[in-house]
Structure 1
Amino acid sequence: MAGSKALPTFCFLLCAASCALAAASYDYMILSLIWPGTSCQPGWTGKPACCVDPLIDNPEPDFLVETMETYDSATGKLVAKCEPNCRFLINPLVDLLDDLYAYWPSLSCPAQNGKQVWKAAWCTFGNCTSLSEVNYFGRALQLRARADVLHALGSKAIIPSETKSYSLEDIEDALVPKIGFSAVVECTTEMGVLSREYLLSRVRICVSADGKSIIGCPFARKSNCGSKVKFYPFTDDMLGRPRHPAAGHIKLPSDKAMTQ
Structure 2
Amino acid sequence: MAGSKALPTFCFLLCAASCALAAASYDYMILSLIWPGTRCQPGWNGKPTCCVDPLIDNPELDFLVETMETYDSATGKLVAKCEPSCRFLINPLADLMDDLYAYWPSLSCPAQNGKQVWKDAWCTYGNCTSLSEVNYFGRALQLRARADVLHALGSKAIIPSETKSYSLDDIEDALVSKIGFSAVVECTTEMGVLSGKYLLSRIRICVSADGKSLITCPFSRKSNCGRKVKFYPFTENMLGRPRHPAADHIELPSDKAMAQ
Q: TM-score, normalised by structure 1?
A: 0.93
SS in 2 for 1:69: strand
Partner of 2:177: 177
Alpha carbons 1:236, 1:249 under 8 Å: kept: no
CA distance in 1, matches of 2:106, 2:216: 29
CA RMSD of superposed structures (Å): 2.2
Partner of 2:60: 60
Partner of 1:200: 200
Give the paired residue count. Answer: 260
Alpha carbons 2:58, 2:244 under 8 Å: kept: no
User: Aligned-pair distance for 1:31?
Assistant: 0.3
CA distance in 2, matches of 1:111, 1:31: 24
1:56-100 deviation digits (Å, cap 9, x = unpaired) = 000000000000000011111000000010000001111001000
1:30-76 deviation digits (Å, cap 9, x = unpaired) = 00000000000001110101000000000000000000000011111
User: Aligned-pair distance for 1:240?
Assistant: 1.6
User: Aligned-pair distance for 1:167?
Assistant: 0.8
1:174-199 deviation digits (Å, cap 9, x = unpaired) = 11122123301000002569641000
CA distance in 1, matches of 2:142, 2:168: 26
Alpha carbons 2:167, 2:227 under 8 Å: kept: yes
> What residue ranges of structure 1 are gaps of 5+ in the alignment?
none
CA distance in 1, matches of 2:253, 2:123: 35
Q: TM-score, normalised by structure 2?
A: 0.93
- Identical-residue share of aligned pairs (%): 91
Partner of 2:220: 220
Alpha carbons 2:57, 2:246 under 8 Å: kept: no
User: Aligned-pair distance for 1:257?
Assistant: 1.7
Alpha carbons 2:236, 2:242 under 8 Å: kept: no
User: Aligned-pair distance for 1:21?
Assistant: 2.2
CA distance in 2, matches of 1:161, 1:33: 19
SS in 2 for 1:102: helix
Alpha carbons 2:172, 2:182 under 8 Å: kept: no
Further displaced range: 213-222 or 189-198: 189-198
CA distance in 2, matches of 1:2, 1:195: 68
User: Aligned-pair distance for 1:247?
Assistant: 8.5
CA distance in 1, matches of 2:191, 2:14: 53
User: Aligned-pair distance for 1:207?
Assistant: 0.7
> What residue ranges of structure 2 are gaps of 5+ in the alignment?
none
CA distance in 2, matches of 1:124, 1:164: 37
CA distance in 1, matches of 2:246, 2:141: 30
Alpha carbons 2:58, 2:247 under 8 Å: kept: no
Partner of 2:240: 240
